Amino acid sequence: MSQPTSPLLGDQPLKIGAFAPNANGGITMTEATRSLRVSWEHQKKIAQSLDRWGFDVTVPIARWKGFGGSTNFNGSALETFTWAAGIAEATENIAVVATTHVATLDPVVAAKMAATVDHISGGRFGLNVVMGWNSVEMAMMQNGLLNHEERYAYGAEWLDFVERLWSSDEAFDVDGKFFRAVGCESEPKPLQDRPVIINAGNSKTGLAYSAKYADINFFVSSDLDQMAAHSAALKKAAREEHDREIQTMTAAMVICRDTEAEARRVHDEILEKADWVSAQNLMAIHGVDSDSWKEQMTKFKERFILAHGATSLVGTPEQVVDGLQQMADHGMQGVLMGFLNYAEEIDYIGEKVLPLMQQAGLRK
C-alpha cells in the first residue's frame, strides 16, 4: 500500500533504541536507586525524549509475571500492544514496537491490533515476534508452552496467517497443523506494506526462523567474534535460502558517565545491591544453573544482574562510542540500550554520546 516509513529501515549506519522501558527494572536486576517508573506519565516522558534525540526505536519487553526476589524484577510490566498504541500517539518519528508471545494471541486479533497501531503511528509500527521461553509465566496461559521446536513451527504458521491477513484482499481459509479458520479477512490493512518484523531467535531453529521471516534479528553475546559470525551466517542464510535481506542488532546495558571512575562506581553499586534471588529464578527458568561451576556461574549471573544476560558498555562517552563502534564493526546494525535511569540517561546520551557517534560516522 505504501513505502516503508519505519526508521528501523532507514539509513542510519548504527540504529539505536531503548529496550524494556515498560517494565520495572528495565534490564537490570538491582535494588540500586533508579528513576524508572511504570507510570504512564513517565513512560511518555521516556518515549518523547527518545523521539526528540532521534533514537530509531523503542522496544518493550513482553512479561506476564515477575521473577520474585526483593525487586520482583519485571513483575510490573505494561502490556506491549496497548503501550505501543499510547507511545505511538505521544511521539512523531521513532519506530514503536510491540512484543508478542505468539501463543497468547489469535492471529486475527494480532493482525488487527498491529494494523491499528500502524495507523496510529503513521506507519512506524514493528512487531517483535517471540515464541516464549518462560515456563512459569506461560503456565498462567491457556496454551501453555510448546517444546522449543514446536514453538517455532507454531510461530511460522502464526506469522504466515498474520501476513495473509495484512495482504490478502479476498477472504481465505486456513488449514494448517495449528490453525484452522474459515473466511478470514482483515481491514484496514497496515499503512506499511508489512510492519517491520523483529525476532530474537538465537538458537539454530530460531535463526532459521529469523532468516525466513524477520527484517531484524536481535542477537545477544558479549563475544564480538561470535557477533560477527552470527551476523554473517544469518545474512547469508536469508539471502541464499530466502532471497531476502536481514539486519542484525544487539542489546546492551549502557552505563555512561563523565569519568570512567564514576561509571564504574555505578556498575559496582548495581552489583553490590543486586537482586540475586530474582537473577537466580530467571536463570533457573532458562535452565542455566549449576553448583559445580560456582565462579563461572557468578560471572554469568552478573551479566543477568547488569543486563538481563546481554553485554554492558561502561565508561565515558568516548569509551561507550568505542564499544558501539566495535559492535558495528562486528556486523551489528543497531543496539538497543537499557539504562539504570532511562529518562536522565537518554538525555545524557543525546547530549554527550550522539555527537561523538556522528563524528565516528555511526550516526548521520
Ligand X SMILES: Cc1cc2nc3c(=O)[nH]c(=O)nc-3n(C[C@H](O)[C@H](O)[C@H](O)COP(=O)(O)O)c2cc1C
Query: Is 115 within 8 Å of 186 (Cβ atoms)?
Result: yes
Query: Any contact of residue 62 with ligand X (CB under 6 A)?
Result: yes
- Closer by beta carbon to ligand X, 221 or else 269: 221
- Please report where in the chains the cell 511504570 appears, as a residue: 38
Q: Does 206 bind ligand X (CB under 6 A)?
A: yes
By CB under 6 A, is residue 64 in contact with ligand X? no
Which residue of this chain has its Cβ atom nearest to ligand X in the complex? 206
Q: Is 213 near ligand X (CB under 6 A)?
A: no
* Contact status: 133 vs ligand X (CB under 6 A): yes
**Closest to ligand X by CB, 12 or 52:** 12
Minimum distance from residue 58 beta carbon to ligand X (Å): 12
96 binds ligand X (CB under 6 A): no
Q: Is 88 in the site for ligand X (CB under 6 A)?
A: no
Q: Which is nearer to ligand X, 70 or 202 (CB)?
A: 202
Q: From the list 202, 221, 222, 319, which residue makes contact with ligand X (rule: CB under 6 A)? A: 202
Q: Is 21 one of the binding residues for ligand X (CB under 6 A)?
A: no
| Residue count (the chain) | 364
Say how many residues touch ligand X, by CB under 6 A.
Answer: 18
State yes or no: residue 131 binds ligand X (CB under 6 A).
Answer: yes
Kindly state whether residue 74 participates in binding ligand X, applying the rule CB under 6 A: no
CB of 154 to ligand X, least distance (A): 12
218 in contact with ligand X (CB under 6 A): yes
User: By C-beta, is 107 or 132 nearer to ligand X?
Assistant: 132
Binding site for ligand X (CB under 6 A): 19, 61-62, 99, 130-134, 200-203, 206, 218, 220, 251, 336
